[in-house]
Structure 1
């Protein structure tokens, strides 16, 4: 049983009432796919660091929600000056380098960060973006047994977008032992590179 931190790896509960179906409607999947991005931290000159993660576009203006540890070091509290943003054009191909982003908000204690797209891949400023995005839901609406669907770049078996499914197995507190809802237990397959991606559940409003 794996764990997702409800504060650190935020769950996007896209509140669609499809009755706990075992698969997501095509239009929902397409929306999530287009809003899922690969993030690669870089130095001020654009040289990539040796890590990658996932993120989810949460506004059409290009704000991306991810984990702090994707774009920074939780030990020394440093943040990457630039973040390369790669978007999915074809699901059977690696994501394409499309934008540069900068971290505009970050909390290492919650393991959360917001990256804003600010330039195209040629480092020309961008504005007026109208990107596909997903809305944040209410993780308190989730319950044991709800279906969970995970989108991200696991890094296992290649660099293309990966989808996995499972179910909510339970909840635990901050220390993974006491009671609370800081962590969600699930059995969906995940791996390195999934961090920052937005799991989706079948929770209804």
Structure 2
């Protein structure tokens, strides 16, 4: 009985399998092997070489080599300023104070204010770049090398309008000078490292990228051409080094954009090529001399062009002229539009300021532009820019 049931089960299974095979072969012909009459699709022969791998981004897994290259050239700067305070003595009783308060002598008290920052050794013989605001009005300056050695320094010169200062370390041969990057190879997105002494905790390295270049009109300095980075820059980092992934100097860390005083990922550094030009002037003469016209300019917008009836939005609109200044003597008046300085067309008021400042005092400035719809040409003689200029070109 059991054998009969087993045989019946096997016959049923075989019949179901044959039925399924017939369905597959006749209803789904795509699963059968192609017949000899079927068209043959030409396909390229398989290459003996393996397929090329997609390009992958290359980069270091560690920036320790860059830090080892740059960090010895970054120093800590400690400053102290002595201030004198005058304190008037007062009686507790208002009546006594009224009658006898003037008889009490004023007392003076001296107070020592300390600050900190960073600096970068540029040459093996000890020239050191930092920010003007790091050493401004300092009565004492102490520089500590990365190895903890205190060194004596003197101020070569300082430029408040660009916030660059140059110091000199004396009596220390073969100092670790930082290598310099090529500004032509700088790109937005490059990895950068900020090295300095934030909050006085000791030398610290933070990482980010170049977020933007050529930042200006920030109200930080008179002459601005900042590199923007999201590498954390905090109080104490000022004057320190911003370096690339090879440890080469890109800029001098200068400022942060922050409402709380801490880093919010928007920091600014002075490009080394700008600081280098100032450094050379300070070494040569101890001061920075710039050209000046005594005019104030504003970028021409479509709204201004329509309001003033200007022929185009190109050039810089003169909004103020200092009386008896070089621009006034050349015949420039408010409402004129400057379109060229010595054959170079400024795109905005920032570029106009740079062109004028870059012309040595005593040199001629050939100015082209418009007065209404009338073309004008003028020649002005550049004068030394005052330390505190009444107007900003």
> TM-score normalized by structure 1?
0.67
Q: Which of residues 145, 149, 158 is equivalent to 1:87?
A: 145
CA RMSD across the alignment: 2.8
Give the number of aligned pairs.
Answer: 158
SS, match of residue 34 in structure 1: helix
Larger radius of gyration: 2
* Structure 2: 5+ residue stretches without partners: 1-57, 83-110, 249-393
What aligned pairs does 1:96-175 form with structure 2 within 5 A after superposition?
A: 96-118=148-170, 126=171, 129-155=173-199, 159-175=201-217
Does the 8 Å CA contact 1:54/1:193 hold for their aligned counterparts? Answer: yes
Contact 1:105/1:115 (8 A) holds in 2: yes
In structure 1, runs of 5+ residues without a counterpart are 1-18, 73-77, 90-95, 119-125
Indicate the residue corresponding to 2:242 in structure 1: 199
What do residues 126-154 of structure 1 show as CA deviations (whole Å, max 9, x unaligned)? 26x11111033343431111001111001
Higher helix residue share = 2
What is the CA deviation profile of residues 34-54 of structure 1, one whole-angstrom value per residue up to 9, with x for unaligned ones?
Answer: 11100112469xx97411100
For residues 173-192 of structure 1, the aligned pairs below 5 Å read: 173-176=215-218, 182-192=225-235
CA distance in 2, matches of 1:22, 1:143: 20
Does residue 134 of structure 2 align to residue 70 of structure 1? yes
Query: Deviation digits for residues 105-142 of structure 1, max 9, x if unmatched?
Result: 21111100111113xxxxxxx26x11111033343431
Structure 1 contact 20–146 (Cα < 8 Å) conserved: no
- Which residue is equivalent to 2:122? 58
Higher relative contact order (Cα pairs below 8 Å, separated by 6+ residues): 1
> Given the two structures, how large is their TM-score scaled by the length of structure 2?
0.37
